Amino acid sequence: MQQGSRVLLTGFGPFRHYRLNPSEQMAAHFNGLEIGGSTIEGRVLPVSYRGCRAVADEIRRNPPQAVVMLGLRATHRRIGLERIAVNIADGRFPDETGDRAENRVLDPTGPDGIFATLPIHTIHNALSTGGFSSHISNSAGTYVCNALFYHVVRVAGEFQIPAGFVHIPAMKHNWSEDRLWEAVRVILETVAIRVKSTL
């Protein structure tokens, strides 16, 4: 494998009444670790529509070999592997800057939807084998998670970089912090195998 293979792992900081965001914890935990021959670059992002576009611009300037984006979906008990991002922002709540999007097109020059390029079926199978509950989701919503997903996957496509979004559950029910770490490690290991096969 070529030296310098890098997987960008993003999470979001606190938002609304979720003062401790598990996606933030995952990004911080894996930052700097080597998994499957790739170095993980963990980044914690603001819950901001403008910030989503800024991340995509950074990827264009310094593309990694893959991008895994994490976000919290506290009402779900399974990990959600998102299939498609849609070209719309329409949130019930404003982002952390006070920007409330209502039926806003994310990119007037972009397609209506963009599919994830992570191997989501392979990831789903690997999670199931490891005993982690997951599903392939056909809606990432229309809030900041979807906005990040859309902008990043569009830019990643310019470089043929696998990229996608994963919703993780809150740390309750049968999801402890350690168990989430283990599940995210499975995801990263699966992505690292894909990276290795393309280098």
Query: Where in the sequence numbering do the catalytic residues fall?
Result: 82, 145, 167
Q: How far is Cα 177 from Cα 13, in angstroms, rounded to an integer?
A: 16
The 3-class SS string of the chain reads CCCCCEEEEEEECCECCECCCHHHHHHHHHCCCEECCEEEEEEEECCCHHHHHHHHHHHHHCCCCEEEEEEECCCCCCEEEECEEECCECCCCCCCCCCCCCCECCCCCCCCEEECCCCHHHHHHHHHHCCCCEEEECCCCCCHHHHHHHHHHHHHHHCCCCEEEEEECCCCCCCCHHHHHHHHHHHHHHHHHHHHHHC
